[in-house]
Amino acid sequence: MSDTRARPAAAAGTWKLGDLTVNRLGFGAMRLTGGTPFAPGGGASDRERSVAVLRRAVELGVNHIDTASFYFSATRSANELINRALAPYPDDLVITTKVWPGRDPSGEFWWAEPEQLRGQVEENLRQLGRDHLDVVNLRLPPSRADGSLADHFGVLSDLRDAGLVRHLGISNVTSAHLAEARSIAPVVCVQNAYSVDAPGTEQELLRECGELGIAFVPFFAIAGGRREEGAVSADDDAVLTVARAHGVSSAQVRLAWTLEQGPHVLAIPGTGDPDHLAENVAAGAIRLSAEEIALLGSVRRG
């Protein structure tokens, strides 16, 4: 009990990414740089505040940080902020990154060919100051919604065998992609967009991951359908009703609901605001009743 008071990120329990144990309440680094890579135009973040947020997250018990080399703005890089704030890294800290998307210096996205993935992995290694990556997610482009990931995932499997990568995951995928990836190498996590207002069909992959013992890691759990635009103050009536009952914010309810979806479900809310960080981490201790979970289930579309 004393540990969860001092390190509240532990309140939601733990899960294993392969042989790496993480608290289920983690941190996403995307918003540390100001704006997002997918919706640029936000103001530059304050470097020292971003560093302080990362250090405070670890103090609160966060030991799972999600990042990518393409999380950068004109003046900030999420990976380099992580390196500055946290190196030498705590022994229990797990850093997850992703490849296949890249961005050129102007910020425009490009998609790597299989032979370019090693360069993306090495870029993450260099920026983070590490000799191996804990987990690398292969993030599929929208154009591959019905296509194969075998060529790209096969390269990551080789990099895993070479010791540059410890564990592999996949992102923005379907059940068919998961089956294809598992035929090539072990998969420790699936990272997809998912939130309380997601279509019910998206529950199917979440359930499948639970049956297979694979972590399901939602992104946009707070923003929902607004995705890169972020959360709004006005929320669905069901979410607001539960938030009032617990005396918490709607964002905290969305995170609590996410964690209620199964012991294999992780949360990686991101922020550059220290107050929002504290709220997000505190959401791991919120316990929803069966009636509240059912009420929030009515928010889902489809």
Indicate if 71 belongs to the active site: yes
* Nearest residue to 249 via CA among 269, 227, 219, 265: 269
Question: Whose structure tokens read 């992703």?
Answer: 98
What token pair was written down for 165? 């990568």
Which distant-in-sequence residues (6+ apart) come within 8 Å of 149 by Cβ?
Answer: 138, 140, 170, 173, 177, 180, 181
* Nearest residue to 50 via CA among 70, 71, 64, 24: 71
Task: Give the phi and the psi of residue 37 in degrees, each rounded to 5.
Answer: -65, -25
Report CA-CA distances (Å) from 52 to 47, 58, 139, 157, 202.
9, 10, 29, 35, 35
> Are 49 and 67 spatial neighbours (Cβ–Cβ below 8 Å)?
no
Catalytic member of 71, 72, 100, 194: 71
Helices (H) and strands (E) in the chain, counts: 11, 11
* Nearest residue to 134 via CA among 76, 188, 58: 188
Active site (catalytic) residues: 71
